[in-house]
Chain A
Amino acid sequence: MPLVDRSNLRPGRFCFSSDWVTDHQTNWQMLFGQLAGRPDVRFLEVGSFEGRSTIWWLRNIVTHDSSFITCVDPWHAVLFGHRMEFEERFNHNLACARLSHKVRKMKGESRRLLGALSQNSFDAAYIDGSHAPMDALLDGLMVLPLIRPGAVLLFDDYDLAYSGQPTMKPVRRAVDQFLALAGDAIEVIHRGWQLAVRKRDRPSLVQLAVEKVNPHLIDSGPLAGAD
C-alpha cells in the first residue's frame, strides 16, 4: 500500500484543493433543477476528483432517498503533475457530507467502464473526465446511449483554453465533433464555459442505431472465378 498523507483529512472538515462548482450553481439549477426531489433519479458523473461536484448534485438535484449518483473516475494518485490522495479526499468529503451511501463508485478509466452500464438508464450526466480531445469525445459518444431520451448531458470546460494558447481548446475540439456527429439525436440547450445538450425524445434511427449494416451484401456480385 502506498503511503497516504491523511494530515489534511480532519474529521468533519471538508478538504478541497479548488472550487470549480460555485460559479456554475445557477446554470446547474436551471439545467437539472426539475430532477430535484424526484424518486429513482440516476445521475452519471464522469470525473469526480475530490467530490465537490458530486456533493453539489447530491444536495441539490439527486436529493430523494431512492436516487443515487454513479461516479466514474480512475482517481489517479498523480494529477496535473501533483501527487495527492485524491481518492481518500473523495471518500473523506462524501463521508463529511454524510452522503457516501448515495454514491456508486466505479474506479477506473471511463473508456473501460462505461460500456458495462445499461443503455437509456440515466436521467442526467456530467462529463468532466480527461480533457484530451479523443478522451472527451469518447466519453460523450459512450455516455449518449446511456442517458434516457429527454435527459441532459453537460460537458465541463467547453471553453477552456490551455494557458498561453488561447486557440487551443481541447474540450471544445472534442465536443464540436460530438455535436456534428450526433446531429439530430441531440439539441444544444446551453453554450458557455460549459455546454449542455438534451437527448431528443425521438432521435433518428440512423444516429442511434447500434447494429451493423453490411453494404457488401447489397453490392456483392457473383463469386469471383465461379462458373
Chain B
Amino acid sequence: MPIRPVEDDLRDVGKAVAWAEGLVAAAGVPHALRNDIQVCIEEALANLIMHGRAESAKTIQLNVDADKTTALIQISDACAPFDVAAAPLPEADPARTGGAGLKLLRAFAHEVRYARADGRNILTLVFSTEDASRHALDPASLPLVRSIPAFAEMADATLVDLLGAGRLRRYAGGEKLMTQGDPSEHAVLLLDGDVAVLNESRHGAAPVARISAPALLGEIGALARLPRTASIVATGPIKVLEIDREPLLDAFSHAPAMLVSVIAQLGTQIKNTNTALGLYASGFAALERGDIEAELKDDLRNPSGELRNFATAFERLAQRITQERRTRNEMESAALIQRQMLPLGVTDPAGRCDLHAEIRTARNVGGDFYDMIWLDDHRLALAVGDVCGKGSPAALFMCVTVTMLRLAAREGLPLDEMMRKVNALLYAQNPSCLFATLFFGVLDLETRTLAYLNCGHNPPYVLSADGACAELASGGPPLGVVPDKLWPMHTLALKLGDGLFVFSDGVTEAMDPAQKEYGDERLANLLRAQTGWGAEALIQTVMADVDRFAAGAEQADDITCLAMVLR
C-alpha cells in the first residue's frame, strides 16, 4: 500500500491529491469515481490541517490502495481524537461559507470508517464501482460461496435472498472487522482476501489463525448473541458481505442443513482447538527441554488440514525452539571454553601453601575466571577476574585475557608494567568494547610477600592467623577500558598461617528470595570465624553460606572463589 506523508500545510494538499489521483488513475478506477476521491482527500486533509490539534507534529499520512473497481484511501494522523464518520454535521446555514467539507466527504465516500489506534486517528474511505446498498454478487460467484460448508446444500433462492440482505464492505489491510468482546451484530462472509484472527488478552494480541476467502466468520456469535470470541483484522485489502442476524435466522429456518453444518463446524473447531493445544503443549515441553523431535517440528512447520489456520503461530513456536536450542548450544560451548581455560588441582609440591579455587557458573554463562600459575619454583601468580557480559563474546574475551596474562607474567616485567602492556593489547583488539575486572598477584613463597594490583575488581580479604580479616587495596579501572594505564602496585608481607581469599562479586551480590544482597559484611564475618582452616574448607564454607542465604533463589551471576593459606 503506497504511503505518502502530508505536510501540515495547505499548500501540500494539492500535491498529495495529485499523487493519489496518479495511483488511482493508473489502477484503472473510472473517472467519475476519481473526482469523488479527490474531493474527499482534499476535504479530509484540509480539515486536519486547519482544525486538527496535536501536541507535537501531526504526522499526517495518506495511503492509497486501488484496483479497477475499488479504491481504499486511508488518512492517519496524530491529532486529538476526531471521529470523521460520526461527528455531527454543521447545520446548513446560508450565512456560513465553510462546513461543507464533512458533508461532501460522507456523501461521496461509499464507506467512511474511523478508528483510533496507537495514538492516531485512522480514517478509511472506500470507493467502489459496485453498489454497496445492493448485493453485488453476480451469479458467477455463487460457486465460491457454495464452497463454504454452511452454504453447500442451501437452495439457490434462499442463498440469493440471504446474500441480497448483506452489505458489501471493503476493508484496508490492518483494519479491524470485529473486536473481541463486542456484541455480535452480524456474520461476515469473507469474499476476497485474508484475515488474521487475534486473541486479545491483557498480555497483548496473539495471532491464532489466518483465514483466506471464501469463509463465513462470526456466524455462531451472531446467531447465539454471544460477544465476539476473537478479533478479526484484515491482513490486506479484503471484500466482505456483512449479514445481520435476522436474515441469517431466516435462512436457517429454510435450510436446517445449514444448522447441522454450523454445528459440525463448531465440533471441528473444538477438535482443532484441542489438537492445536496439544501441539502447543508438546512444543512448549520441547522448549523447556531445549530439544525438539523432528516429527514434532514437522507437525509445527506443516500443520495438516484445518490446523493450517494456526500455521503462523506454530511456525513462530518452532522457530523459537530452534533458536533456543542454538542459544543453549552456544552457551554450552562457551561454558566449555570457560571451564577448560581454568586450571584444576594446582598444588605446591613443596608444601608451603594450601591452594584451592572453585567457580560455579550461573545459568547463562558469565565471564568469571581464575588462574593459578607457577612462574618458577617459588613464585605463584594468582588471578581472579570477571569479564563483563555473557555468552560467547565474553567467554572468548576471557580466553584472550587469561592467555595474555599467562604470557606476560613470564616475561619478568614489574607487575605494573606487565599489566600496562596487557591492558594496551586488550584495548587495541576490542571491537565489542568488553572489559574485565581483575585481581592479579604474585606470591613469593620464599619471602612470603604478595605483590598485587587491582584493576577494578572487588578487593580480596587477607586473613591473619590471629583471626583478623582485612580488605586489600582496591581501585583503578578495569582492563580494556582506557588505552594506557599504570595501576599502582602494592606489596604485602605475610606470615605463616595467613590466608588470602579472592572472589568475584557473584558471592557478595548473591540475592535471597526477597532480593536482598549477601553483602561484604556477612562474608567478612564468616571468614573471621574460619581461622586455621584449609583453602578448600574455606571456600566450601563460603559457598554453603551463600546457598543458605539464597534459600533457593536463582543464581544470577557466576560465583568464583580462590583461597590460599600459607603453612
Q: Do A and B form a real pair?
A: no
Residues of A at under 8 Å CB distance from B? none
Residues of B at under 8 Å CB distance from A? none
